[in-house]
Amino acid sequence: MGLTGPAVRRPREELASVSAMSPNWITTRLDFLTNWARANSLWPMPFGTACCAIEFMATAASRFDLARFGMERMSFSPRQADVLICAGRLPFKLAPVIRRIWDQMPQPKWCISMGACASTGGIFDNYSMVQGIDTIIPVDVYVPGCPPRPEGLMYGILLLQKKIKGESFTDDSLREERPVGPDGLYLPPDRVDELSEPFGNSISQTRSA
């Protein structure tokens, strides 16, 4: 499995796609380089809807200074963003909005779900709230807390950087777009129901109560 071997016998046009190759010395070095660059220049798209956004602003401000982690620029346009940070609860009314923002972000892209409400619906287990944004868009890192302290968000960002540094060119599934399907959901309906199940104190409440 080196440069010599199958690569020599392939026509040139097949070699044009690096991702078509199996992992070898060149791709792993390229992976290292691109992942190093990607992980250390994440431009966040802040989607702040509630109190988590206040902690997010504190994280970005001078005391905690997100710029130390390469997040120098908040990208308020999804077209120039790498990581969507959903800071706060997401009502159903905003579900099509965050879905469109996610669809507008170019690959490679990641998502951090900041706080209990974005991750699970939190205390808002009611008619108007999305029970976890992972029923709407794929999520890479969940940051617990209500709201998480800036240290918590930074730990989530460091986890995301670690995850990015483990990615590989040759794995196309990482960059696969998962659009909303013909049934109007991006996950199977029973999966959405399962993710939205009540938990904690609210399990004793029935749907009809």
Partner 1 sequence: MPALSPSIPALRDAFGDVIERALVSCGDTIAYVRRDRAHDVLAWLKDTPGQEFDYLTDLTAVEYRDPERPLEVVYQLRSLARRADLRIKVALDREEPLEVRSVYDLWRGADWLEREVYDMFGIVFQGHPDLRRILMWDTYVEGHPLRKDFPLRGHFSRAEQTRQALAANPEAHYSLEELSIAEAFHELPRDMRERLRRGERGFVR
Three-class secondary structure of residue 35 per DSSP: helix
Q: Which stretch binds partner 1 (CB under 8 A): 9-17, 21-29, 131-139, 144-152?
A: 131-139
For residue 24, with 0-12 CB atoms within 10 Å meaning exposed, 13-18 middle and 19 or more buried, which class applies? middle
Residues 150-189 as x/- pattern, contact with partner 1 by CB under 8 A: ------------------------------x--xxx---x
Query: Please, which residues have CB within 8 angstroms of residue 191's CB and are 6 or more apart in sequence?
Result: none
Nearest to 164, CA basis, from 38, 19, 29, 23:
38
200 forms part of the interface with partner 1 (CB under 8 A): no
When binding is defined by CB under 8 A, the residue of 7, 30, 51, 192 that contacts partner 1 is 192
Q: What CA–CA distance (Å, rounded) separates 197 from 15?
A: 48
When binding is defined by CB under 8 A, the residue of 39, 83, 130, 141 that contacts partner 1 is 130
103 forms part of the interface with partner 1 (CB under 8 A): no
For residue 198, with 0-12 CB atoms within 10 Å meaning exposed, 13-18 middle and 19 or more buried, which class applies? middle
| CB of residue 121 to partner 1, shortest distance in Å | 9
| CB of residue 186 to partner 1, shortest distance in Å | 8
When binding is defined by CB under 8 A, the residue of 93, 162, 175, 178 that contacts partner 1 is 93
